[in-house]
Homo-oligomer: A and B are copies of this chain.
Amino acid sequence: MSARRRHLGAFRWEATPLAAYKAEGTHFRDVTRQVLFAADAGVGCELRYFEIAPGGHTTLERHQHAHAVVVARGSGRALVGEEIVELARLDLVSVPPRTWHQLRAGQAEPLGFLCLVACERDRPERPDADDLARLRAKHAIAEFIRV
């Protein structure tokens, strides 16, 4: 097998299946996932490429494991903790442990991003009614989140 896997164009790669973001649910919309480097790459983390279609969003969630994100394509916005940031190509985002986060593509173009995570990680937690009330206490966050 070659050391190189070619980019085939349009953010698809050789020998890299296009997967659903998550198995099921209504708490995310129009997101695909490709694992670019899995645990067997031996670098201590995994690198995935996610793409959110225009108007779509990831799940609003938090967990103990951190994320490190590099925007690869398009634009959008992210909630990280209590901050909502605009995202453009090659911007970097850090999501610390136990921090609520959600990414949304704009209406005009997809938002594609590389996401680094540790190989061993805990299961994400979604907000309960109390969490949502706390998040929605800030108007900008109330407007932003999709659940």
Q: Is the CB of A43 within 8 A of B83?
A: no
Query: Which residues of chain B come closer than 8 Å to A145, judged between CB atoms?
Result: none
Q: Is the CB of A93 within 8 A of B3?
A: yes
Residue A142 at the B interface, CB < 8 A? no
Q: Is the CB of B13 within 8 A of A42?
A: no
The number of times this chain is found in the oligomer is 2
Q: Is the CB of B7 within 8 A of A88?
A: yes
Q: Is the CB of A4 within 8 A of B116?
A: no
Q: Tell me the complex Cα distance, A94–B46, Å.
A: 13
Binds B, one of A19-27, A65-73, A128-136: A65-73
Q: Which of B37, B42, B92, B118 contacts A36 (CB 8 A)?
A: B92
Q: Is the CB of A92 within 8 A of B13?
A: yes
Residue A87 at the B interface, CB < 8 A? yes
Q: Is the CB of B3 within 8 A of A85?
A: yes
Residue A124 at the B interface, CB < 8 A? no
Q: Is the CB of A41 within 8 A of B70?
A: no
Q: Is the CB of A44 within 8 A of B87?
A: no
Q: Tell me the complex Cα distance, A1–B12, Å.
A: 34
Q: Is the CB of B68 within 8 A of A41?
A: yes
The winner among A43, A114, A119 for most chain B CB atoms within 10 A is A43
Closest residue of chain B to A96 (Cβ to Cβ) is B42
Contact with B along A1-31 (1 / 0, CB 8 A): 0111111000101000000000000000000
Q: Tell me the complex Cα distance, A36–B13, Å.
A: 23
